[in-house]
């Protein structure tokens, strides 16, 4: 087995390049499409409070752990765990993550494809030919070919960028797209807040219903969303961190990433909920919120055509910058294992992942009978990833850094050394994350 790391590895050109790429990875469909519908279904502000606590006490510590493990090993997910502890089978965590990324990107590429379809329809004006968006959406996704084509376009774009390498591909695209995306979400939030009746949206998002804190399903939803939005548990930050020079302070970088991701989610919430409430619509629409409710709303708003182009453009750009990071996880692993060029590995994996996504893409037509209960294949992928795979991967990473690595190593490799902050970090990894998630799982699945 080739576990040496003697190839000359690429590195990020600068600290800001790594930061932008990492925020680009974290901020994606999760912050806009998923955040809005999950918050909408789980009572808004109550969900938000639990979500923010999960981000701070569980998410941030795991981002620090992932970057530390990757930066220290300067290698892919499997190699990094093996390097960190050659005596125990922690590398299985890396292996599961590499495989998990096939499913995540398979499903993610489908929703990214929908976003692209809507973006192009908004640009061409085709989106305004109807006012029945239920029909527009179900007509689109129930076709046996069209959704797959849009998915293929997004996957091709992802493969093209990742094949270009860390600096020339991933870093360059993030450097261009991230400032544009931040500006768009800012404009959308300001616009939405100026609509009549916007205040109801703010109340929904920021005034918790204290009774709802006793519902276990809200906790599971918040944990799932925190993991999905940050993109932790699937060694994404570990893999990106492996291209980081050894001189940067990890806790500082990780905090910036987490704050950036959270701000983008909040801004997306500010862009969506005031507008939804201002038009007297319900936020609890499920995954179709962005694709059925919002277009209807854009049609009614002054300047809505432009707003729609900006909104769906934002979705496409944010999705792409996340797709790059998900693909990089298996790419880094298979480049080392096969010794093939980045271009060959990226193209082959892109193809396999595209095929993995097809059942989700056609879950509304050809693969409809394969759904389980109420959920179609896409929803099964999403549920399994967010509520099972990511939390389990994240907890395994927390347990490794908190217990498996040993206190002295963990503190030294993360750059905390002996201060109080390092103790708090370890405490979160060792106790808060694992216990909180175990409790939420037991209460949600057993009672």
Burial of 303 (0-12, 13-18, 19+ CB in 10 A): exposed
CA 105 – CA 357 distance, rounded (Å): 8
Contact call for residue 236 and ligand PHE (CB under 6 A): yes
Contact call for residue 29 and ligand PHE (CB under 6 A): yes
Find out whether 58 and 428 touch, Cβ atoms under 8 Å. yes
Contact call for residue 77 and ligand PHE (CB under 6 A): no
Minimum distance between the CB of residue 233 and ligand PHE, rounded to whole angstroms?
Answer: 7
User: 372 forms bridges with which residues in the sheet?
Assistant: 375
What are the b/e assignments for 37-50, b being 16+ CB within 10 Å? bbbbbbbbbbbbbb
Contacts of 74 (CB under 8 A, 6+ apart): 5, 9, 242, 243
Minimum distance between the CB of residue 234 and ligand PHE, rounded to whole angstroms?
Answer: 5
Q: For residue 245, how many other CB atoms are within 10 A of its CB? A: 12
Minimum distance between the CB of residue 389 and ligand PHE, rounded to whole angstroms?
Answer: 9
Best CA proximity match to 184, nearest among 302, 274, 309? 309
Best CA proximity match to 417, nearest among 243, 250, 259, 256? 250
Which CB atom, from 232 or from 411, has the smaller least distance to ligand PHE?
Answer: 232
Binding string, residues 421-440; x marks residues near ligand PHE by CB under 6 A? --------------------
The span of 132-140, 228-236, 336-344, 412-420 binding ligand PHE (CB under 6 A) equals 228-236
Which CB atom, from 41 or from 328, has the smaller least distance to ligand PHE?
Answer: 328
Contact call for residue 28 and ligand PHE (CB under 6 A): yes
Q: For residue 411, how many other CB atoms are within 10 A of its CB? A: 20
User: Looking at 26, 161, 345, 432, which residue binds ligand PHE (CB under 6 A)?
Assistant: 26
Contact call for residue 239 and ligand PHE (CB under 6 A): no
Token output for 166: 């860390």
Contact call for residue 159 and ligand PHE (CB under 6 A): no
Question: How many chain residues touch ligand PHE (CB under 6 A)?
Answer: 15
User: Looking at 17, 21, 31, 393, which residue binds ligand PHE (CB under 6 A)?
Assistant: 31
User: Looking at 220, 242, 326, 411, which residue binds ligand PHE (CB under 6 A)?
Assistant: 326
Token output for 54: 């999960």
Which CB atom, from 136 or from 333, has the smaller least distance to ligand PHE?
Answer: 333
Question: What are the angstrom distances between the C-alpha of 168 and each of 16, 352, 444?
Answer: 15, 24, 45
Binding string, residues 99-138; x marks residues near ligand PHE by CB under 6 A? -----x----------------------------------
**Residue nearest ligand PHE, CB atom distance:** 30
Minimum distance between the CB of residue 326 and ligand PHE, rounded to whole angstroms?
Answer: 5
Contact call for residue 173 and ligand PHE (CB under 6 A): no
Contacts of 215 (CB under 8 A, 6+ apart): none
Three-state secondary structure call for residue 375: strand
Report angle CA 218, 221, 222 to the nearest 5 degrees: 85
Which CB atom, from 192 or from 322, has the smaller least distance to ligand PHE?
Answer: 322
The span of 25-33, 78-86, 308-316, 397-405 binding ligand PHE (CB under 6 A) equals 25-33
Contact call for residue 321 and ligand PHE (CB under 6 A): no
Binding residues for ligand PHE (CB under 6 A): 25-26, 28-31, 104, 228-229, 231, 234, 236, 322, 325-326
């Amino acid at each position: 087995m080739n576990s040496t790391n003697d190839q000359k590895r690429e590195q990020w050109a600068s600290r800001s390049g790594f930061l932008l790429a990492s925020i680009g990875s974290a901020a994606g469909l999760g912050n806009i499409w998923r955040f809005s519908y999950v918050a909408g279904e789980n009572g808004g502000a109550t969900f938000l409070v639990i979500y923010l606590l999960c981000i701070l006490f569980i998410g941030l510590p795991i981002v620090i752990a992932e970057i530390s493990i990757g930066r220290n090993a300067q290698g892919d997910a499997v190699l990094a765990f093996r390097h960190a502890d050659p005596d125990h089978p922690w590398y299985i965590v890396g292996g599961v993550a590499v495989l998990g990324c096939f499913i995540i990107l398979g499903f993610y590429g489908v929703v990214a494809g929908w976003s692209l379809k809507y973006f192009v329809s908004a640009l061409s004006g085709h989106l305004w030919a109807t006012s029945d968006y239920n029909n527009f959406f179900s007509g689109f996704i129930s076709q046996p070919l069209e959704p797959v084509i849009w998915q293929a376009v997004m996957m091709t774009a992802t493969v093209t960028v990742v094949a270009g390498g860390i600096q020339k591909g991933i870093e360059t695209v993030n450097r261009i797209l991230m400032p544009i995306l931040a500006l768009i979400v800012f404009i959308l939030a300001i616009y939405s807040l100026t609509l009549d009746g916007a205040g109801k949206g703010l109340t929904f998002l920021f005034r918790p219903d204290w009774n709802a804190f006793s519902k276990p399903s809200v906790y599971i939803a918040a944990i799932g969303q925190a993991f999905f939005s940050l993109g932790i548990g699937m060694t994404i930050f570990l893999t990106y961190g492996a291209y980081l020079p050894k001189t940067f302070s990890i806790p500082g970088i990780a905090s910036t990433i987490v704050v950036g991701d959270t701000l983008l989610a909040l801004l997306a919430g500010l862009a969506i909920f005031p507008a939804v409430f201002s038009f007297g619509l319900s936020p609890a629409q499920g995954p179709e919120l962005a694709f059925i409710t919002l277009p209807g709303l854009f049609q009614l708003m002054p300047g809505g055509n432009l707003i729609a182009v900006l909104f769906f453009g934002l979705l496409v750009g944010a999705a792409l910058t996340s797709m790059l990071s998900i693909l990089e996880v298996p790419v880094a692993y298979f480049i080392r294992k096969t010794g093939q060029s980045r271009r060959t590995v990226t193209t082959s994996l892109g193809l396999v992942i595209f095929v993995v996504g097809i059942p989700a893409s056609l879950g509304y037509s050809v693969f409809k009978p394969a759904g389980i209960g109420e959920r179609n294949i896409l929803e099964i992928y999403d549920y399994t990833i967010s509520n099972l795979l990511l939390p389990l991967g994240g907890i395994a990473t927390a347990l490794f850094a908190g217990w498996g690595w040993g206190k002295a190593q963990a503190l030294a490799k993360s750059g905390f050394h002996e201060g109080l902050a390092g103790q708090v970090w370890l405490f979160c990894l060792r106790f808060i994350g694992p216990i909180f998630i175990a409790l939420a799982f037991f209460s949600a699945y057993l009672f």
